[in-house]
């Protein structure tokens, strides 16, 4: 049972949590002042501590530092008592199991911090073994430079011990480095400690500064988690120490751990400014879904076009010009780094309209490889009577011709100099001469079906929306059945669908994979809290549309936790209910 | 509620685990030694109840510690200093003594009044050193003033000690107690006896007219710096209170190869104690009724007790000075910026974040 820790917001593996002491603390945070160590059993026998609500009590422990042999860990393992105050259990990353405490303290912490792969392995091991709504505490390691990466990996609680010790050694810490105090002609900070004149600045002041810098960095981290933008920060900040960049990349290789925790939609924009962006879960997941779930339902030719800075693409100047030339006679697919390919139906779907990239016209080999791989897989799955590439030279054409060769396709290139010059646009129109235009209804039906494919699974669009009508204007398409009953609405901000109760029923009855949350015998209003969840599908992600069903209620809403988290957690909002009815 | 502190030692589980791991670690060492050469021999000065004396220290190679063959202590790497076959003959042991006497003759003007014999085991264990050999060695040194022989408490026996006392030698048994805290000795050091056994050995030595020199270990694995300091202060106080125990040698752990401590050290899970901790303990216990000395090995190196490297030699010198004079003011002469770091470590290091610095 976790009584004293709750996760409020998630950004990948990072969480904005609340340590629910008598005076609550928003995490990730320093907890030096509220942690009460009941002591080590190596040095003495310990009474069961009294504990209280103002402190997180670390239960009596036998901590195993890095290098402790498995036999020793096994034979000296401690049984943690069940207590009713906020408590933490000390565990080693190699042997960890659910101890029923609110928090877990990693004993071999000094052996894993400083090594990317070791850190990631340790954090993933612990996080996968303990309930999601428990806090992970790494003591004695946080610095202003490493704390963002540690939080990103899934650590919630820290202390200033390391920063303090460094200060006593005359090591001045910043979010980008570590300086010998004596080497600093001026202090690169203006925290209260650093307002001391340089010549009067002592090592005690340095301790104070280090703590301030750590606090400030944690505030940045919390802000970034709230905004869903910690990764964007990290791709820049982690560059200041090689092992931090290594840790970020190692975590990208922990696909299951990271994917499960990454929401399917966000308000925040993805900043695509480094090569590492290509390995983000959001990017990889999109590429995967667009090449394994999405299917093209148009019989028109394919026109490949470059992306635009303005999102959604259809609202940009260039795409309006393409549209004028195409006149609904072709299926439009935009090529872009770092997203890959974006079929017109998915132009609003996260993250297709939620990224911003650095535009120089120079493509790196990694980018070319990634986009051509996605394009190849896309074209293997989707057949077109004709392929027109209306793309400029820089990178794009390279990519198309690579795939053209690989798949032995025949591609018509229509850009003379620039995609929007008169000649090129005329070529584009000519290439489609004689082709019929598809109708608005077909376009709208295919759009909601494509979104259903993308969100729910391969074939879902057909299973769910075989016979529908659509009303209202794109992008706020409303989906109705033959009797005009509304089933769902397209959500233009994220390119998702929100179902009505009727839509949810149809979803449940269809062959499309359902994301279902099973609840206890109550009728939820507003939100479903985790304790009310009996079971939940494992593939539910934050932001997913979910059917909520129990003995007394049937409803539909949006997931605020991922599936396993809903089941494991004893606190927090599992999902927000949009519609519900009593059974 | 389940018991938060299972006494794993009582169950023998912890000891079994330690022994199993230590056996495995030791088995990686393949060197063997010539049974006719002592492990080490050197000349020095030592503080004794009769004042500072010139000493000849002999590490006798007796085939190694029996306890270590079962697994043994977590910090001890001497074990591997054993000979092929496991035991050393009477003749070979006396050859070793001859080598030591030659060393003394070559390097000292006159014979040392104090002879100290260690075996990395128990000199009084007759499976290591037989009664005949013991008697011969006692005879060899009968003309000296004082003898110190190393032994586990089990083997301390008034009749064995009579070999020395009957020859008019002031005699001390050096006992590797390591700590007065049974829990720490069992679980962190993996030494099997209890403080009560040490008290019994002191009583036995007293009955033979001999004394005891207790050897303590500062900072076995798994203890934090502050726990190690507290353990040493209370251990020194408790040892000094035992009749017969007139000298305490408190020594900081150094990281020896083929030990559990080495495994932890290699994985960034262990740091030897600070020399400031040694100085602090000596100062805090200066008024106990016993001679308290410390002989840090490998000071200033990563594997030995160290401060910041800048001040290590100075603090080591003060410690050696204290050994001879027992005057705590020697520590007032040394200071360094890194004391603040040491204090921060004492305050902030926990079982679950150690070692907090290198």
Please give the class, per CATH, of domain A273-431: alpha beta
Cβ within 8 Å, pair A203-B340: yes
Distance between start and end Cα atoms, chain B: 39
Sequence-separated (6 or more) residues with CB below 8 Å from residue A522: A532, A550, A552, A553
Q: Model confidence at B1, in pLDDT bands (50, 70, 90)?
A: very low
The mean pLDDT value of chain A amounts to 96
Burial A30-57 (b: 16+ CB within 10 A, else e): bbeebbbbbbbbbbeeeeebebeeebbb
Nearest CA among B253, B233, B238 for reference residue B305: B253
Does A109 sit within 8 Å of B265, measured CB to CB?
A: no
Give the per-residue pLDDT at B69.
79
For the residues B219-241, what does the mean pLDDT come to? 98
Q: What is the pLDDT of residue B2?
A: 34
Q: What is the pLDDT of residues A451-500, one digit of tens each?
A: 999 999 999 999 999 999 999 999 999 999 999 999 999 999 999 999 99
The pLDDT of residue B83 is 58
For chain B, say whether A90 makes contact (Cβ under 8 Å).
Answer: yes
Is pLDDT above 50 for B7?
A: no
Predicted local distance difference test score (pLDDT) of residue B25: 87
Span A496-530, pLDDT tens digits: 999 999 999 999 999 999 999 999 999 999 999 99
CATH numbers and ranges of domains, chain B: 8-348 (3.20.20.70)
Closest CA to A336 of A352, A315, A322: A352
In percent, how much of chain B has pLDDT > 70?
A: 94
How does pLDDT run across A361-373, given as a tens digit for each residue?
A: 889 999 999 999 9
Please list every residue in chain A whose beta carbon sits closer than 8 Å to the beta carbon of residue B269: 65-68, 108, 110-111
What pLDDT is stored for residue B31 in this prediction?
Answer: 67
Q: Among candidates B161, B111, B169, which has minimal Cα distance to B134?
A: B161
Instruction: Tell which CATH architecture fits domain A5-258.
Output: Alpha-Beta Barrel (3.20)
Flag whether pLDDT at B6 surpasses 80: no
Dihedral angle over CA of A568, A570, A575, A579, nearest 10: 120
Residue with the bigger pLDDT between B30 and B305: it is B305
pLDDT recorded at residue A581: 97
User: Chain-wide mean pLDDT for chain B?
Assistant: 92
* Site of tokens 């667009």: A290
Claim: this prediction has a pTM higher than 0.90: yes
From chain A residues 156-195, the ones with a CB under 8 A of any chain B CB are 159, 161-162, 164-165, 168-170
Residues 201..260 of A with a Cβ closer than 8 Å to B: which? 203-204, 207
Structure tokens at A203: 């090592």
Q: Where are the domains of chain A?
A: 5-258, 273-431, 447-582
Other C-beta atoms lying within 10 Å of the C-beta of residue A409: 16
Fold that domain A447-582 belongs to in CATH: 2.30.130
Q: For chain A, how far is it from start to end, CA to CA, in angstroms?
A: 30
Q: Is the pLDDT of residue A273 over 50?
A: yes
Instruction: Report the pLDDT value the prediction gives residue B4, as an integer from 0 to 100.
Output: 35
- The band of B65, judged by pLDDT with boundaries at 50, 70 and 90, is confident
Which residue has better confidence, B192 or A305? A305
- Residue range B114-129: mean pLDDT, rounded: 92
The alpha carbon of residue B306 is apart from the nearest alpha carbon of chain A, in Å, by 15
- 3-state class (DSSP) for residue A534: strand
- Cβ atoms of residues A4 and A102 within 8 Å: yes
Least confident of A31-40, A262-271, B71-80, B162-171: B71-80
Instruction: Tell me which chain A residues have a C-beta less than 8 angstroms from the C-beta of B190.
Output: none
Per-residue confidence (pLDDT) for residue A410, from 0 to 100? 96
- Segment A282-312, tens digit of pLDDT: 999 999 999 999 999 999 999 999 999 999 9
Q: Tell me the per-residue pLDDT of A155-173, one tens digit each, with 9 for 90 and over.
A: 999 999 999 999 999 999 9
**B33 CB neighbour count, 10 Å cutoff:** 17
Q: For residue A489, what pLDDT is reported?
A: 98
Counting residues of chain B whose pLDDT is more than 90, the rounded percentage is: 82
Q: Do B343 and A168 touch (CB under 8 A)?
A: yes
ipTM score of the complex? 0.93
> What is the secondary structure of B57-83 as a DSSP string?
EEE--SS--HHHHH---TT--GGG---
Distance (Å, rounded) from C-alpha A513 to C-alpha A120?
A: 32
- What's the pLDDT tens digit per position in A419-441? 999 999 999 999 999 999 999 99
pLDDT above 70: residue B202: yes
- Residue contact A169–B343, C-beta within 8 A: no
Contacts of B340 in chain A (CB under 8 A): 168, 203-204
């Amino acid at each position: 049972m976790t009584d004293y820790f709750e996760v409020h917001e998630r950004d990948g593996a990072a969480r904005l949590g609340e340590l629910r002491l008598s005076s609550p603390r928003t995490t990730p945070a320093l907890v030096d002042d509220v942690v009460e160590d009941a002591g080590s059993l190596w040095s003495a026998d310990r009474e069961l501590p009294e504990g209280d609500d103002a402190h997180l009590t670390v239960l009596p422990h036998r901590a195993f530092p890095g290098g402790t042999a498995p036999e020793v860990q096994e034979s000296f393992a401690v049984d943690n008592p069940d207590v009713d105050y906020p408590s933490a259990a000390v565990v080693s990353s190699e042997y960890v199991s659910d101890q029923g405490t609110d928090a877990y303290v990693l004993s071999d912490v000094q052996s894993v911090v400083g090594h990317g792969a070791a850190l990631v392995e340790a954090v993933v091991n612990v996080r996968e073994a303990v309930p999601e709504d428990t806090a992970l505490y790494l003591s004695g390691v946080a610095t202003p430079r490493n704390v963002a990466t540690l939080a990103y990996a899934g650590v919630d609680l820290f202390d200033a011990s390391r920063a303090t010790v460094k200060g006593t050694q005359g090591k001045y810490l910043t979010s980008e480095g570590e300086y010998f105090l004596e080497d600093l002609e001026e202090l690169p900070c203006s925290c209260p400690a650093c307002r001391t004149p340089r010549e009067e600045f002592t090592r005690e002041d340095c301790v104070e500064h280090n703590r301030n810098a750590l606090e400030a960095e944690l505030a940045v981290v919390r802000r970034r988690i709230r905004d869903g933008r910690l990764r964007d920060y990290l791709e820049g900040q982690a560059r200041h120490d090689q092992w931090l960049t290594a840790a970020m990349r190692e975590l990208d290789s922990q696909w299951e751990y990271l994917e499960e925790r990454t929401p399917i939609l966000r308000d925040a924009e993805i900043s695509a400014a480094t090569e590492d962006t290509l390995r983000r879960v959001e990017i990889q997941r999109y590429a995967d879904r667009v090449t394994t779930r999405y299917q093209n339902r148009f019989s028109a030719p394919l026109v490949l076009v470059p992306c635009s800075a303005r999102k959604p693409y259809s609202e940009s100047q260039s795409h309006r010009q393409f549209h004028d030339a195409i006149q609904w006679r072709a299926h439009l697919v935009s090529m872009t780094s770092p997203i890959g390919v974006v079929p017109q139906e998915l132009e609003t779907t996260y993250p297709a309209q939620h990224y911003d990239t650095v535009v120089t016209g120079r493509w790196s080999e990694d980018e070319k490889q990634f986009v051509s791989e996605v394009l190849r897989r896309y074209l293997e799955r989707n057949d077109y009577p004709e392929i027109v590439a209306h793309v400029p030279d820089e990178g794009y054409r390279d990519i198309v011709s690579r795939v053209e060769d690989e798949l032995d396709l025949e591609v018509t290139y229509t850009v003379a100099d620039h995609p929007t010059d008169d000649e090129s646009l005329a070529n584009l129109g000519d290439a489609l001469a004689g082709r019929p235009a598809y109708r608005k209804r077909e376009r709208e039906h295919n759009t909601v079906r494509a979104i259903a494919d993308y969100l729910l699974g391969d074939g879902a669009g057909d299973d769910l929306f075989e016979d529908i009508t659509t009303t209202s204007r794109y992008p706020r398409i409303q989906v109705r059945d033959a009797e005009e009953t509304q089933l769902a609405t397209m959500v233009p901000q994220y390119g998702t669908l929100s179902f009505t109760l009727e839509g949810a029923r149809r979803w449940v009855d269809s062959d499309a994979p359902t994301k279902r949350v099973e609840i206890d015998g109550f009728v939820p209003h507003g939100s479903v809290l985790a304790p009310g969840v009996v079971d939940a599908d494992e593939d539910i992600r934050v932001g997913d549309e979910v059917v909520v069903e129990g003995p007394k209620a049937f409803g539909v809403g949006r997931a605020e936790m991922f599936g396993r988290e809903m089941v494991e957690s004893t606190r927090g909002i599992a999902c927000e209910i949009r519609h519900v009815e009593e059974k | 509620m389940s018991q938060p502190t299972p006494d794993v030692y009582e169950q023998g589980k912890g000891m079994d685990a330690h022994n199993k791991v230590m056996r495995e670690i030791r088995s990686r060492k393949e060197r063997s030694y010539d049974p006719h050469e002592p492990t080490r021999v050197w000349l020095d000065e030592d503080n004794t109840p009769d004042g500072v004396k010139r000493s000849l220290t002999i590490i006798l190679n007796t085939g190694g510690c029996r306890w270590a063959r079962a697994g043994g202590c977590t910090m001890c790497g001497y074990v591997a200093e054993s000979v092929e076959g496991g035991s050393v003959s009477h003749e070979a042991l006396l050859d070793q003594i001859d080598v030591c006497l030659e060393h003394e003759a070559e390097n000292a003007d006159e014979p040392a009044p104090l002879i100290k014999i260690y075996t990395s085991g128990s000199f009084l264990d007759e499976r290591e050193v037989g009664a005949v050999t013991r008697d011969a060695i006692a005879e060899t040194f009968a003309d000296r003033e004082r003898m110190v022989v190393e032994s586990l408490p089990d083997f301390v026996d008034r009749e064995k000690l009579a070999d020395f006392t009957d020859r008019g030698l002031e005699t001390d048994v050096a006992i590797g107690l390591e700590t007065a805290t049974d829990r720490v000795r069992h679980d962190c050091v993996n030494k099997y006896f209890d403080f009560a056994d040490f008290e019994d050995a002191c009583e036995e030595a007293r009955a033979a007219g001999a004394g005891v020199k207790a050897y303590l270990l500062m900072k076995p694995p798994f203890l934090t710096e502050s726990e190690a300091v507290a353990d040493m202060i209370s251990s020194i106080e408790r040892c000094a209170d035992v009749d017969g125990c007139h000298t305490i040698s408190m020594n900081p752990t150094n990281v020896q190869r083929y030990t559990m401590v080495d495994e932890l050290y290699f994985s960034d899970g262990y740091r030897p104690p600070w020399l400031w901790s040694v100085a602090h303990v000596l100062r805090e216990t200066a008024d106990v009724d016993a001679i308290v000395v410390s002989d840090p090995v490998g000071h200033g190196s990563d594997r030995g007790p160290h401060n910041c490297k800048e001040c290590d030699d100075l603090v080591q010198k003060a410690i050696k000075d204290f050994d001879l004079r027992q005057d705590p003011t020697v520590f007032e002469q040394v200071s360094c910026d890194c004391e603040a770091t040491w204090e921060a470590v004492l305050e902030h290091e926990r079982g679950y974040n150690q070692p907090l610095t290198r």
